[in-house]
């Protein structure tokens, strides 16, 4: 691994919502990526600030890259596809996308961006309640603050196991891009090489089975 004069490694900013805490996720990535300096955040505001601080690469959802004018260099793939399905999840019965008026979602784009993102997925114009952790989605349902939540279909089984609620899902027709890497700094090739060596278990936590 090449390092600069300070001895620090290339810098990778990660903005993804996973089932483990951000600090633990950051530590696992840091250990797996060797000398890469990893910053993992769970809030859009923290992402914006860290991006301005200077990074060599950014790993997040394609919709986030696009919103920031960044281009994907490497895309995550799952079962040969760079996209994954999302589901609308409710309690006791599968929600009807045409009837829900308040929907919970993990915030990746801020208020206006999330409104457009969720409305495009669900259809109609439901109000969007934004949260920053996967477990917070369950709280929204438990407190009846929303009629349904939106999340990647692959997370449904884990969420159902973690909750006493009788969760039911309806797969949505559209698809969302899996995590992708954008190269934004001079030492990005170091990050690209390290990402391609990432253990499958850790890639799987991001919904990815290979990087291409």
Q: How far apart are CA 209 and CA 195, in angstroms?
A: 12
Q: What distance in Å separates the CA atoms of residue 58 and residue 141, rounded to the nearest whole number?
A: 32
Per-residue confidence band for 63, with pLDDT thresholds at 50, 70 and 90: very high
pLDDT tens sequence across 157-184:
988 998 999 999 999 998 999 999 999 9
49: left (phi over 0), alpha (psi -120 to 50) or beta: alpha
**CA-to-CA distance for 83 and 154, rounded, in angstroms?**
12
For residues 76 and 205, what is the distance between their CA atoms, to the nearest angstrom? 12
3-state secondary structure of 45: helix
pLDDT average, residue stretch 15-24: 89
CB-CB contact of 105 with 113 (8 Å): no
Predicted pLDDT of residue 5: 39
**The CATH homologous superfamily of the domain defined by 84-175:** Periplasmic binding protein-like II (3.40.190.10)
11-79+178-211 with 84-175: one CATH topology? yes
- Please report, for the chain, the start and end positions of each structural domain, with discontinuous segments joined by +: 11-79+178-211, 84-175
Average pLDDT for residues 52-79, to the nearest whole number? 96
What is the pLDDT at residue 134? 87
**Residue 62: is its pLDDT beyond 80?**
yes
pLDDT reading at 60 higher than 90: yes
Cβ-contact 36, 194 below 8 angstroms: yes
Q: Which CATH class is domain 11-79+178-211?
A: alpha beta
Residues 6+ away with beta carbon under 8 Å from 29:
12, 14, 38, 40, 202
Chain segment 118-171, per-residue pLDDT in tens: 999 999 899 999 999 988 999 999 999 999 999 999 999 988 998 999 999 999
- Terminal Cα distance for the chain, rounded: 22
Q: How far apart are CA 143 and CA 3, in angstroms?
A: 49
């Amino acid at each position: 691994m090449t390092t600069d004069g300070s001895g620090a490694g290339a810098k990778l900013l990660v903005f993804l919502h996973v089932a483990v805490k951000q600090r633990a996720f950051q530590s696992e990535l840091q250990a797996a990526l060797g000398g890469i300096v990893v910053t993992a955040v769970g809030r859009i505001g923290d992402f914006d600030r860290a991006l301005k601080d200077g990074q060599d690469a950014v790993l997040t959802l394609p919709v986030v890259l696009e919103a920031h004018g960044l281009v994907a260099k490497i895309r995550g793939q799952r079962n040969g596809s760079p996209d994954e399905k999302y589901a609308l999840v409710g309690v006791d019965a599968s929600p009807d996308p045409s009837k829900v008026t308040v929907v919970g979602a993990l915030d990746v784009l801020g208020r206006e961006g999330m409104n457009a993102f969720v409305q495009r997925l669900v259809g109609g114009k439901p109000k969007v309640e934004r949260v920053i952790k996967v477990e917070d989605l369950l709280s929204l349902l438990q407190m009846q603050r929303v009629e349904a939540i939106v999340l990647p279909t692959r997370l449904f089984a884990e969420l159902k196991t973690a909750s006493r609620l009788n969760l039911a899902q309806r797969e949505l027709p559209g698809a969302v891009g899996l995590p992708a890497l954008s190269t934004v700094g001079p030492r990005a090739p170091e990050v690209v090489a390290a990402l391609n060596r990432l253990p499958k278990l850790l890639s799987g936590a991001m919904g990815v089975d290979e990087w291409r």
